[in-house]
Chains A and B, each alone.
Chain A
């Protein structure tokens, strides 16, 4: 083994890497929030929408789930270029991740809504609750409890997926690492540190989500 590890340049780049890690967090958080809203709309459209809306929702969901995330990014990156639509790397990653999150979350939400028996709606209504009350007090809490864990997983995937930004020229954590690595040729060292940062980010997300779940879902065990 005649390779000398050089960690010093990596340490000097650490502040930049941490800053890039914040961008990673920001874009994945944003994409998951947008994904939750759109996923909800897609799930309801697929279940109850008129047929054009339902067809659109099914198309969205199936393409999001059956093609690689990188392909979806490329599509929003280069594919739309054919129509003269050139998005910035930030928008490519944000739209790509949101598209993917929404597709997966839609199926999660659909499963969650289906898991709550319809009879509960009737029971709540016959007790004199309004439709809104039934939804916010009976249905929503149960659905939330069911979809909470898959939603957390999706957030972790969004963080991991955002690393694909590197391939469309976005300088989040991976892109920034790539930038420094190609400047110094210390590829292994840089990517090893970045791997560690991702690991820590994922562990923090899972830890916090466990804490929230412990506090929020104490009822009904």
Chain B
């Protein structure tokens, strides 16, 4: 009898991989956007907050950076049903990735705020700018320049780390490759294609980061 479970690579598989790559990108973009906004707010709290707020938040964010992402994913995924909100893998994955991103961005954002010299901020305030005007028109544009390369580094990391959401059963690029490998028994070719996908996403981002670093470091 002919084998029906193992079939060779077909054109529909290429589409399957492209779709999975889109899912990888989508969960990355979503969690990076949410995580960046949260991270900037957290970074501001870390810089400005009194020691209770800054200390507590700092400790929590530090935990996100000290525990493997895969453990965080499993932990959160199994925690939500306990408090009565079962989440699907996509939701749980996005939440954890966004929080993880925010922990990384918080540090970057704090560094950005601190890179703007105190004298310049005092000058802004004595010109009659309000606290928020100073943040918006002085700290933001100058700080952004100094930390944009680090932020791109974070983005690069999160895009790659999004592969770990596969552990919850979300069919992103890497998980899709596993499914295809199981069916076609052609691990090398499929993994090579998937590697190229990731490379094509990450490499340009890294290049942009490097270019900005060179341009703005002076």
A residues contacting B by CB (< 8 A) are: 1, 3, 62-63, 65-71, 74-75, 78-83, 156, 160-161, 163-164, 166-167, 174, 177, 187-188, 191-192, 194-195, 198-199, 202-203
Contact = CB atoms under 8 A, between A and B. Distances in A.
A83 B74 contact: no
B206 interface: yes
Contacts of A203: 66
Given A3-B82, A78-B187, A79-B188, A71 B163 contact: yes
Interface of B: 63, 66-72, 74-75, 78-79, 81-84, 156, 160-164, 166-167, 174, 177-178, 181, 186-189, 191-192, 194-195, 198-199, 202-203, 206
Most chain B CB atoms below 10 A, which of A70, A187, A191, A202: A191
A70 B78 contact: no
B75 A192 contact: yes
Given A79-B187, A191-B75, A191-B78, 14 more contacts: A62-B199, A68-B161, A68-B198, A70-B164, A71-B195, A82-B189, A83-B188, A174-B68, A174-B71, A187-B74, A192-B75, A195-B67, A198-B71, A202-B67
A195 B75 contact: yes
Contacts of B63: 199
B75 A68 contact: no
Given A79-B188, A166-B70, A66 B198 contact: yes
A156 B202 CA distance: 22
A66 B155 CA distance: 12
28 contacts: A62-B203, A65-B202, A66-B203, A67-B160, A67-B195, A70-B164, A70-B174, A71-B163, A71-B191, A71-B195, A78-B187, A82-B186, A160-B67, A163-B68, A164-B70, A164-B164, A174-B68, A174-B70, A177-B71, A191-B74, A191-B75, A194-B71, A195-B72, A198-B66, A198-B67, A198-B68, A199-B66, A202-B67
A188 B72 CA distance: 10
A200 B162 CA distance: 25
Contacts of B68: 160-161, 163-164, 174, 198
A69 B160 contact: yes
A156 B66 CA distance: 8
Given A68-B160, A199-B66, A199-B67, A74 B75 contact: no
Contact of B167 (A65, A69, A79, A167): A167
B181 A187 contact: no
A1 B83 contact: yes
Nearest to B202: A66
Q: Identify the 8 closest CB pairs spanning chains A and B, nearest first.
A: A82-B188, A163-B68, A68-B163, A66-B202, A68-B160, A78-B187, A202-B66, A79-B191
Most chain B CB atoms below 10 A, which of A74, A163, A167, A187: A74
Contact of B191 (A1, A62, A75): A75
B100 to A, nearest CB: 11
A200 B212 CA distance: 37
A63 B202 CA distance: 10
A7 B202 CA distance: 42
Nearest to B177: A74
Given A1-B84, A62-B203, A191-B75, A74 B70 contact: no
Contacts of A79: 187-188, 191-192
Nearest to B187: A78
A88 B198 CA distance: 26
A71 to B, nearest CB: 6
A63 B195 contact: yes
B199 A66 contact: yes
Contacts of A174: 68, 70-71
B78 A75 contact: no
